[in-house]
Amino acid sequence: MRVSRLAQGVKTSPIITLAAEINERIARGEKFYNLTIGDFNSQIFPIPELLKAEITKAYQENQTNYPGAKGLPVLLEAVSELLKMKMDVQYDTNSLLIASGARPLIYAAYLATTDPGDKVIYPVPSWNNDHYTQLSTSIPVFFETSPEQNFMPDAEDLAPLVKDARMIMLCSPLNPTGTVMSKAKLESICDLVLAENHRRSGQRPLYVVFDSIYWQLTFGENKHYNAVQLRPAMREYSIFIDGISKSFAATGVRLGWGFGPVDVMAKMRSIVSHMGAWAPKPEQIGTGRFLKNHAAVDEYMTHICSEIQQRLHGFYNGFKSLKEKGFKVDAIEPQAAIYLTV
């Protein structure tokens, strides 16, 4: 065997492989409507002009050396301020970590909290947790959710599984369904996690990792809730993953942040630094300056949410029309993110 057992078992994401093939064919002039991965047409959805200008300015200032493992103060402070303003949760800069997108942060969360053979619980459909459990040599424990549940787990689904688990992985708004977790569901799950950690009484805790990269892209009456906002005691057991890739259509800019318990974030910082998964310094400076301009941020978020909602509802109304005409098709009304469940 020429490679390690771990490498032998690693599989490339089929959807990324398919997307690459389609992009190659588009480059050759073929016409496709590429609905493979959660990305934007940057000609239609460019990043905010001010964000682009601030990143460019940082390059022009020759801000091109190492950024440091933790992240730059200008960005850490801006993210801390954003969380306080938009989520009503307080995380100081010692509780924050900057990386080159959400992916290395999720992987670092797995490595920082699980040992080989530890159980990780996640509902399906979900995104990439099968690969992260394989890479971290943890044991996947998954269960199916239904359209009637909004594809969001109930505390009753999790209760039989948590006793010997190490992590619960949750995503809301959900990739790939575009649905959101209700306040009542999140409260019940938080109460379950708090009760389980109380039962463990000083033993290794049960963590919840929240992939909340789409949290700002919610529509209509739908609202994103933060576990620590609802149950402050969850701070000790919650790790959150966020960034600019979806909210600001900046999937290729590669900048994300995580926040959670200081001791866990410190170990995640070490892991990210050994991977070399820092976000580039100009992107950090530019994003920090942009996020400080609250009016520009709000203006862009209003614009992009309106544009995405309009498109998703166009598809949704089309499928509902087909159903009314007798076709065997249905869809869930868009709630958030950039996905429609059909």
Could you read off the pLDDT tens digit of each residue along the chain, which spans 342 residues?
789 988 888 888 888 888 889 889 988 999 988 788 889 999 999 999 999 999 999 999 999 999 989 999 999 999 999 999 999 999 999 999 999 999 999 999 999 999 999 999 999 999 889 999 999 999 999 999 999 999 999 999 999 999 999 999 999 999 999 999 999 999 999 999 999 999 998 899 999 999 999 999 999 999 999 999 999 999 999 999 999 999 999 999 999 999 999 999 999 999 999 999 999 999 999 999 999 999 999 999 999 999 999 999 999 999 999 999 999 999 999 999 999 999
Q: Which pTM was predicted?
A: 0.95
Do the beta carbons of residue 234 and residue 191 sit within 8 Å?
no
Q: Which CATH number fits domain 49-295: 3.90.420.10, 3.40.640.10, 3.30.565.10, 3.30.70.260?
A: 3.40.640.10
- DSSP calls for 290-334: HHH-HHHHHHHHHHHHHHHHHHHHHHHHHHHHHHHTT-S---PPP
User: Measuring CA to CA, which residue among 183, 141, 181, 146 is closest to residue 164?
Assistant: 141
What residue spans in the chain does CATH classification 3.40.640.10 cover? 49-295
